[in-house]
Amino acid sequence: MCLPLILLLYLATGIVVVDDVLVLHVALLASTSIPGFKFTNCYGNILQQLYWHVVIILSYMVAVVICLRYWNQFENQSTLPVYEMLEQGSKLPYPALYICLGYPLNPKRLAKYRNYILKPNLTMSYKDIDKTLQYMLRFQRSTLNVKYNLTELFLYNVDIEKLRKHFIKFYYQINELLQDCYIQGIRFDCSDIFIPLELAPGFCFIFNSIYTYKNFHENPLKVPYQEFSEYDDDWSIRFKISYEKETALLMYLKDPRNLLSLTDYPNYVWRPRKQISEYGYTIVNQYSEEKNRKLNLKQRKCIFSDEKFPYKELNDEFATNFYDQDVCYNYCHTKQLIKLCNCTPTFSIAMFPKLANKTKICRVNDISCYEAHYLDIRRHECKECLSNCNRTTYVSIPEIQEPKFCINQSKVS
């Protein structure tokens, strides 16, 4: 009975036992003065042998469980830190500014083209036209401050992509919103530096983003963007706002290499009745050391910008290796919308043209599906979309001044 117990003990410790070695170990255990071990030899009481073999085996099992637990923790937690610092004299990305309209339609433009919209076979009032356009534009808006009820008026099986090209003439133009644009003290025509683009959060005018370039898919890491250093005299963005609608202008500050997504919240919300005119922003430059590349994704919990997306089909959209967490979010939300509504939204066409070619473009009668699942899509957790290892974040600091608008860097950390 002693032999099976000793074999069990040594098997539990991972030691292979043969006859000669067994005799040696038995002799050692018989002569040892360590409490308990001397009872594991063949000359001890059977109950004592059994008791101490069980104790030893359980001890090894506990040790193995603890080791496995800490190994799993090592596998899933970063062991190397991510640093936040600004080196003296280093260049930083000048912020990309997104100005998104809660109500992108210009009433004056809408009234001017009212007769042009009317079809011979449709009897639509100005109010109906306005509501129809607003409802269609809800397809590209994330603000839920206004609700509209579905009626048969909005259920025509019309290709939104074709209508969008027609309705774009009713959108605000940048010079109807902003005037006297200054970047670092240099004056520009606002229409030269702000590019219109339809994104998931809405219709936006964008400054200094790589995603406003037509061929950014070819090599996003080579697309130029504006930078500045701590030695520059003026870091501000200044302009006058001539927006007269009651709904807000949503303003976002982003890294030029990061796209706006449904997960973002505005840095500033400008309303006509509020005389908020000047804001500050703090820059946080986050980077991860190159040696972190040796760690797996579970350990470092971030992806470098020259690595691939977790979605294989998303990598096919770009000619070179490239990663941006916000592009990943946009793709994840688009895939979720395709899954729920079986169509690609118009705001995803320019960003993911190959994906758009594989599915149908959403039509007017698909809006109700998007409306029904909008919050679900926004709340959908995209676990695959890890943070960028190197990233610049802009944190807003509000101030109240005279009725102009200025975004000025006030502190660096």
pLDDT for residue 99 is more than 80: yes
Q: What is the mean pLDDT of the chain?
A: 72
pLDDT for residue 64 is more than 90: no
Give the pLDDT confidence of 298-330 residue by residue, as tens digits. Answer: 888 899 999 999 998 899 999 889 999 999 999
Close Cβ partners of 300 (under 8 Å, ≥ 6 residues apart): 78, 80, 288, 292, 389
Give the pLDDT confidence of 151-201 residue by residue, as tens digits. Answer: 333 334 445 555 555 566 677 888 888 888 998 889 999 999 999 888 888
Among the ranges 60-74, 156-170, 328-342, which has the highest mean pLDDT value?
328-342
Close Cβ partners of 97 (under 8 Å, ≥ 6 residues apart): 206, 207, 208, 237, 251, 252, 253, 407
Task: Indicate the pTM of the whole model.
Answer: 0.69
Give the pLDDT confidence of 243-275 residue by residue, as tens digits. Answer: 766 667 899 999 999 999 989 999 888 877 655
Give residue 263's Cα distance to chain centre.
6
| Confidence grade of residue 227 (pLDDT, cut at 50, 70, 90) | confident
Give the pLDDT confidence of 352-389 residue by residue, as tens digits. Answer: 888 878 888 777 667 678 778 888 888 888 999 999 99
CA angle 247, 253, 254 (to 5 degrees): 130
| Confidence grade of residue 12 (pLDDT, cut at 50, 70, 90) | very low
